[in-house]
Amino acid sequence: MFTDNAKIFIKAGKGGDGHVSFRREKYVPNGGPDGGDGGKGGDIVFEVDTGLNTLQDFRHRTKYIAKDGEPGDKKRCSGKDAKDLIIKVPEGTIIREDKSQKVIADMSGDNKRQVVLKGGRGGYGNQHFATPTMQAPQYAKPGQTAGELWVDLELKLIADVGLIGYPNVGKSTLLSRVTHADPKIANYHFTTLSPNLGVVDLEDANGFVIADIPGLIEGASEGAGLGEEFLRHVERTRMLIHVVDAAGSEGRDPIEDIYKINAELENYNPDLAKRPQVIAANKIDLIYKEDEDPVERIRAEFEPLGYEVFPISCATGAGINQLMYYVSGKLGELNEPPVIYEQEYFPEDELIYTELPYTIEKEADAYVVEGPKIERMLGYTNLDSEKGFAFFQRFLKETGIVDELKEAGIEEGDTVRMYDLEFEYMK
């Protein structure tokens, strides 16, 4: 069964707790603290698997929870980091936050691997908390909690060209003729229950990827039949081949069919109706009328609107080569790459900006900013990177910490301490 959408729960691993212990050796009666740090929790990582073409597996398993980091131990032994949980998805999968429907990741193009949720940082053991005035600290830091999300997975196939048209007009047969794909073909509506991809190889011309989009019907954009489920796959394509039954062997008018299908594209996504489109007038081997040429009717109707019309027969192969070479040339003229969806939802930012407490206290040598909100921010932010440092500065301003430090009397050059992070305050 083909499945192109699913809803799953993901949760990264919690960091391991820091350990409280002291050296206990025969000739060291007053050994210092030697509690080790906890290990990092496992990340939730999505990876593209080119061998997959469906989200079916996610219908059977809906929860993905990474392991927690191991706790620290005595003798300064750190707990092991947990392994990342790798979730394999087909290329073209879009990951959205369930409630807002904002895009977290589009597993397309160069994006083959993305960390969606980071595991919690391990807590410090009591070895870190010894001071001249407290040489035997009895506490350690717990591991950092990790994020969790419900996400929606949506598969949008990636192809240069999409085959569209009513059911039983010959799309699957055309695909089987021009590629090595082996779609199921039969004489009834919605034969193709899943999109099929194939590669068109041409001599002395650029090849391209073509997708057979299951037959649409009137009302598809509103959920009629299976249309809405498959219209999403057209969005990735750069060009469309509109296949029609020129002979009218199904008892429908091919001109009306073209207008109706294009109306469905317009209703679903207006940009689709503007996509370059060529008409493949199929089943010319079944045209027996001597008084009227249906292909010329189609040409007279649509060529003035900018559509090229190619008479073809998927049964005999007539006209197919000319159509494929025209499409290859047209693709070479198009500069637009396949649609890639930009990230709109950043799980780390959402977790950091949640309403968690923090405190600001003035000590003799520094202004100390602490609390769960600060711990979470430091755990998710890489201050060694330019992007991470910029986020850190924005965080201080947007959460009001900078304003509160000013109210507390901070001056330029004063020290700010956030756990193990120290820096000089600059206006």
Identify the CATH number of the domain in which residue 370 sits.
3.30.300.350
**Can you read off the two tokens belonging to residue 191?**
């034969």
Same domain, 2 and 117: yes
Domain boundary among 129, 155, 181: 155
What pLDDT shows up at residue 181?
57
Same domain, 191 and 261: yes
| Residue with the larger pLDDT of the pair 317 and 23 | 317
Is 90 exceeded by the pLDDT of residue 244?
A: yes
Is 60 exceeded by the pLDDT of residue 142?
A: yes
Here the CATH number for the domain that contains residue 124 is: 2.70.210.12
The distance of Cα 311 from the centroid of its chain, to the nearest Å, equals 39
What pLDDT shows up at residue 190?
39
Same domain, 366 and 291: no
| Residue with the larger pLDDT of the pair 243 and 265 | 243
Is 90 exceeded by the pLDDT of residue 39?
A: yes
Q: Which band of pLDDT confidence, cut at 50, 70 and 90, is reported for residue 216?
A: low
Spatial CA neighbour of 76 closest among 116, 26, 131, 20: 20
Same domain, 139 and 171: no
Q: Which band of pLDDT confidence, cut at 50, 70 and 90, is reported for residue 189?
A: very low
Same domain, 40 and 115: yes
Is 80 exceeded by the pLDDT of residue 355?
A: no
Spatial CA neighbour of 71 closest among 36, 43, 22, 42: 36
pLDDT, averaged across the chain: 84
Range of the domain at 364: 349-427
Residue 119 lies in a domain: yes
Same domain, 176 and 86: no
Residue 371 lies in a domain: yes
Is 80 exceeded by the pLDDT of residue 319?
A: yes
Same domain, 172 and 217: yes
| Residue with the larger pLDDT of the pair 400 and 130 | 400
Same domain, 184 and 150: no
Residue 342 lies in a domain: no
Amino acid at 188: Y
Q: Which band of pLDDT confidence, cut at 50, 70 and 90, is reported for residue 184?
A: very low
Cβ(189)–Cβ(267) below 8 Å: no
What pLDDT shows up at residue 24?
78
Same domain, 178 and 217: yes
Token look-up 């199929």 returns 282
Domain boundary among 276, 300, 333: 333
Amino acid at 292: E
Mean pLDDT of the 120-134 span: 83
Is 60 exceeded by the pLDDT of residue 318?
A: yes
Q: Which band of pLDDT confidence, cut at 50, 70 and 90, is reported for residue 376?
A: confident
Q: Which is it for strands 415-418 and 421-424: parallel, antiparallel or unpaired?
A: antiparallel
Same domain, 197 and 307: yes
Is 80 exceeded by the pLDDT of residue 279?
A: yes
Here the CATH number for the domain that contains residue 257 is: 3.40.50.300
Q: Output DSSP code: residue 219.
A: T
What pLDDT shows up at residue 36?
93
Max avg pLDDT among 80-89, 136-145, 278-287: 80-89
Residue 344 lies in a domain: no
Same domain, 250 and 145: no
Buried/exposed 150-186: b ≥16 CB within 10 Å, e otherwise: ebbbbbbbbbbbbbbbbbbbbbbbbbbbbbebebeee
| Residue with the larger pLDDT of the pair 234 and 55 | 55
Is 70 exceeded by the pLDDT of residue 94?
A: yes
Instruction: Please state which of the ranges 175-189, 191-205, 239-253, 412-426 shows the lowest mean pLDDT.
Output: 175-189
Same domain, 29 and 144: yes
Is 80 exceeded by the pLDDT of residue 285?
A: yes
Q: Which band of pLDDT confidence, cut at 50, 70 and 90, is reported for residue 334?
A: confident
Alpha-carbon distance of 323 to 350, in angstroms, equals 50
Residue 339 lies in a domain: no
Residue 420 lies in a domain: yes
Amino acid at 413: G
- The total of structural domains in the chain comes to 3
What pLDDT shows up at residue 176?
86
What pLDDT shows up at residue 223?
47
Residue 338 lies in a domain: no
Q: Compute the CA torsion angle 230, 201, 89, 338 (nearest 10 deg).
A: -60
Which residues touch 288 (CB under 8 Å, ≥6 apart)? none
Instruction: Please state which of the ranges 114-118, 210-214, 271-275 shows the lowest mean pLDDT.
Output: 210-214
Domain boundary among 333, 357, 378: 333
